[in-house]
Amino acid sequence: MKYGLVLFLISISIFFQQRIFAQPQLWDIYSVSNQPFVNITVDKYESDSLYLKFMDRAIVLHQDSVKYLVKRNTSKFGIGFLIGAVVGGVFFNTTLQGSNDPLSQFGRLSLTGLGIVVGGTIGGLLGSAQGTDTKYQIEKMNTEEKRKLLSGLFHN
């Protein structure tokens, strides 16, 4: 019963993270002349060119004029903390329920609270680690390598 509740809460958390909080993928793109295009969305990759959107402005960059791209990722600390806290609390509480050690009600609540804090901290750290940016250095790639990478990143 308790494990089913935990799985249900985790499923709901993941659903809300992906559906409600979903935002367009942001990129930072730097040209070979070191011109930065920061916090932009890539509309598509077609005919060896990237079609970018920035503040209702369309920009087209040929793949040979791109030095590197940075995929900006947001931290998942909050959702990681929430999932970890629920799992940690239920795990500590379930572990205590199965033991024959007579704990006072306060002791049980204290250890369940400790499970929430420990699980939340571990989950938050893991969620933060998922939010690191990814850099793609493409300046020294040949034309075919650039085409493969960019079409893989921006398949439409």
CATH classification of the domain holding 49: 2.30.30.100
- Check if the beta carbon of residue 74 is closer than 8 Å to that of residue 132: no
Exposed, middle or buried by CB within 10 Å (0-12, 13-18, 19+), for 136?
middle
Question: Could you read off the pLDDT of 34-87 as tens digits, one per residue?
Answer: 899 998 999 899 989 999 998 888 999 999 999 999 998 877 788 888 888 888
Q: Are residues 69 and 85 in the same domain?
A: no
The predicted model scores a pTM of 0.56
Q: Are residues 93 and 115 in the same domain?
A: yes
Q: Are residues 89 and 124 in the same domain?
A: yes
Q: Are residues 88 and 122 in the same domain?
A: yes
15 in a structural domain: no
Mean pLDDT across 98-121: 75
Tell me how many domains the chain contains: 2
Q: Are residues 57 and 104 in the same domain?
A: no
Higher pLDDT among residues 1 and 143, named by residue: 143
- Confidence bin at 156 (pLDDT 50/70/90): low
Higher pLDDT among residues 25 and 138, named by residue: 138
149 in a structural domain: yes
Give the single-character DSSP code of 64: G
Q: Are residues 35 and 78 in the same domain?
A: no
- Which pLDDT value is given to residue 90? 83
Distance from C-alpha of 77 to C-alpha of 55, rounded to nearest angstrom: 28
Q: Are residues 78 and 125 in the same domain?
A: yes
Domain span at residue 122?
74-132
How many residues make up the chain in this entry? 156
121 in a structural domain: yes
- Which pLDDT value is given to residue 145? 95
- Which pLDDT value is given to residue 19? 47
Q: Are residues 139 and 68 in the same domain?
A: yes
Distance from C-alpha of 11 to C-alpha of 9, rounded to nearest angstrom: 5
